[in-house]
Structure 1
Amino acid sequence: MEKEQLEKITREYQMLQEQLQSLAMQKEQFKEQKAEFAEALEEIEKAKGRIYLAVGGIMVDVDKATATKSVKEKQDSAQMRLGITEKQFDELSKKEQSLRVEITAALKELKE
């Protein structure tokens, strides 16, 4: 393998690592959101009095069913985004692993 080609693959590998790091952070954010929404649903179920929902920059008084529906929709959205992010992460991980093997083989070839 040519040295220039190895450098190109190495740059691609580094970009993949950055993308993987970014996706890992996104995965954590979506997991945290899901946990927050689950906790919010528990609190809504326990609520005896008024329930307020943040809409934009204001708080709106809503009934229990509306609050539950809104939080469940947000929870479902976070779950969907988490699934997409995990799939992207898995695909990039496989590509990263493949490039790592390719780089290792090329480095061995250059040493010989």
Structure 2
Amino acid sequence: MDIFVQQIINGLVLGSMYALVALGYTMVYGIISLINFAHGEVLMVGAMVSWSVVTALADSGLPGWALLLISLPIAILACSVLNFVVEKIAYRPLRNAPRLAPLITAMGMSL
């Protein structure tokens, strides 16, 4: 029974992550009418930044919830800056371009 409860929790966490990514894709497409293929990569950068902060502070003796509260705003800031730079450099100059150019740029940002 213990394994079943843990698998239910794992499924809810994984489903929540999928829902968060899908919501991000929907919001970006609804606002700028462009499928941002780099959306998943930005989330990956946020996860890596958060993981790096947690592992750097792991020996500090802070409890897990404090590490989470420290790493979460840093990851949010890193993702926000990355999204701002990508939008400013790659997407904004192509706002009035034909539909194929922003699509190719979005794929390039994903790579």
TM bucket normalised to smaller = 0.3 to 0.5
Return the TM-score normalized by structure 1: 0.33
Asked which structure has the greater CA Rg, the reply is 1
Return the TM-score normalized by structure 2: 0.33
* Greater relative CO (CA pairs within 8 A, separation 6+): 1
The structure whose residues are more often strand, as a share, is: 1
